[in-house]
Amino acid sequence: MIRNRLSAFLALSTVLTLAACGSDQPAANQAAGVDKVKVGVIPIVDVAPIYVGKAQGFFAKRNIDLTMEQAQGGAAIVPGVVSGQYQFGFSNVVSLLVATQQKVPIKAVANGVNSTGDPAKDFGQLIVKDPAIRTAKDLEGKTVATNTVKNIVDTSVKEIVRKAGGDGSKVNFVELAFPDMAAALDAGRVQGIFVVEPFVAPALAKGWRSLGAFADVDPKLCVAAYFTSTQLIAQNPDLVKRFTEAMRESLAYADSHADAVRQVVTTYTTIKADSASAMTLPKWSSDIDKASVDRMNQLLASGGVLSAPVDTSKLLP
C-alpha cells in the first residue's frame, strides 16, 4: 500500500520532459470499441476492490479490458502513469501530495482505501512489545520501524505521539519492510512498529499491544487513491469517467462483501487463506474524504515533508 520512496520522484524529470514535448502514445489501446487499460497497483490488501470489481464484471460492462500490473510502491507508479506505461495507478496520499507540489501532471479519480474509524480495530496500527511502554508518548527517544521515512506511516506515528501528549519529532525512525518488522521488535532492535494487514493480526496474537492506529490521525483517513495523468483526462475523458464509475462500484461492493475480498487477496498476494480470514479489513468508501486529505496535507507541511500545504484542488476531483 504504502511502500513508497519519495526519492522515486527524481525519475520524473525525464518523464516530464517527454510529456512537455508531447507523446504519441495512445490514451488507451482500443479494439472493437473496448479500451485496454493497464493499472499500476501494489500487491497489498488495499487494492482488493479493483480485483473484485474485475471479477464481478464492473469494468467489462463499461467496455474496459482491465489488466493490473504490480509495482513496488506508489511513488514508482506515478512516473509510469505520467509516461503512459499505465493509464491509471494506485498510490498513497502522501506521494500524491508530494507529486502535486512538484507540479507532476496527475489527478486523483477515485478513492483508494480508508481507516476503519476504530483505533482498536484498524488495518494499520502502532504496536509495541515492552510493557513499560504504556502510551505513545513513551516512544520519545525510542526507535520505531516504518516502511519508508517521510511518508504516511511515520507521519501518522508522529501524530499519534502528539495526541498522547508527546513530541513526535523526538521519535527515531528506521526503515524496514513490513514483513521484517515483527522480528526486529521481538529482538529489541526497535521499540515500536507500525504495520498494516496482514501483519497486524499476527503481531497482536503474540500478546503485543497497539498504542494507536490510522484512525487516530483521522477517523475517515484517506490513505490512498487511484489517479491518472492530466493528459489522459484531456485526451479521453469518457474513458476516465467509465473507469471512475467502475471503481466506485468496485469499492462499494468490496466494502459490503468481506468474503469476496478475503478470497481475492489470496490470488494476487502471498497471503494465505488462514491469514486472510484473520485480517482486519480497511474501509472502502466510494468517495474520497477530502477533509482527511486536507488534514494530512497540513501534517506534512508542519512536519517538513511538504514545504507548504499544497492546493488540493489540483489533485482531488
- Secondary structure of 161-216 in the HEC alphabet? HHHCCCCHHHCEEEECCHHHHHHHHHHCCCCEEEEECCCHHHHHHCCCEEEEEHHH
Residue 33: predicted pLDDT: 84
CB 37 within 8 A of CB 65: yes
pLDDT value for 71: 84
How far apart CA 241 and CA 245 sit, in angstroms, is 6
Residue with cell 474524504: 289
| 106 burial via Cβ count (<10 Å: 0-12, 13-18, 19+) | buried
Residue holding cell 474485475? Answer: 54
CA–CA separation, 91 vs 151, rounded Å?
12
Q: Given this model, what pLDDT does residue 31 score? A: 59
Q: What is the 3-state secondary structure (H, E, C) of 235-276?
A: HCHHHHHHHHHHHHHHHHHHHHCHHHHHHHHHHHCCCCHHHH
pTM metric for this prediction: 0.85
Pairing of strands 88-92, 34-41: parallel
- Residue 14's pLDDT is 43
CB distance 106 to 81 below 8 Å? yes
With contact defined as beta carbons under 8 Å apart, do 288 and 313 qualify? no
Instruction: Identify residue 132 by its one-letter amino acid code.
Output: A
pLDDT on residue 149: 82
- DSSP conformation letters of 131-145: TT--SGGGGTTSEEE
* CB distance 96 to 315 below 8 Å: yes
29 - beta bridge partners? Answer: 36
Regions of the chain with pLDDT less than 50: 1-27
